[in-house]
Amino acid sequence: MSDTESRGDVPPDSTAPVDRAELRARMARALARGGLPGVQVISWESAEEVLTPRRREIIETLREREVESVRGLARELGRDKGQVSRDLGVLAEHGIVRYERVGNAKRPRLTQEHVVVEPIV
């Protein structure tokens, strides 16, 4: 199930299904109003699949400093460029990372400053 799909859960006080994507969007807006702008809220299913320790290391590195290319990121992490590229691809599929083209290099960037996982209950 993707972050944009709804499981059709029913809230206790309503017969209308819950649109989890809309709830995540509301949560991001509420966090922004509360002083935490630049938030991406992802489903806990996606978090479980996507946020492996190595991918979290990539996110943390991109949060802390700018890297010039996928190759430069791999070098900084002490990892194989192909592995880092595959991990970045998964993060990009889930909207956590985007790329900027600089000549022949692809410069990975976080799409938001913060990644938050939706509440489980």
What's the mean pLDDT in 23-27?
A: 90
Least confident of 10-14, 98-102, 104-108: 10-14
Beta bridge partners of 41: 116
| Short-list 31, 67, 75, CA closest to 59 | 67
At residue 13 the predicted structure's pLDDT band, cuts being 50, 70 and 90, is: low
For residue 43, pLDDT over 60 is answered with yes
DSSP code string of 22-64: HHHHHHHHHHHHTT--SEEEE-HHHHHHH--HHHHHHHHHHHH
Q: Is 65 helix (H, G, I), strand (E, B) or coil?
A: coil
- pLDDT tens per residue, range 58-72: 999 999 999 999 999
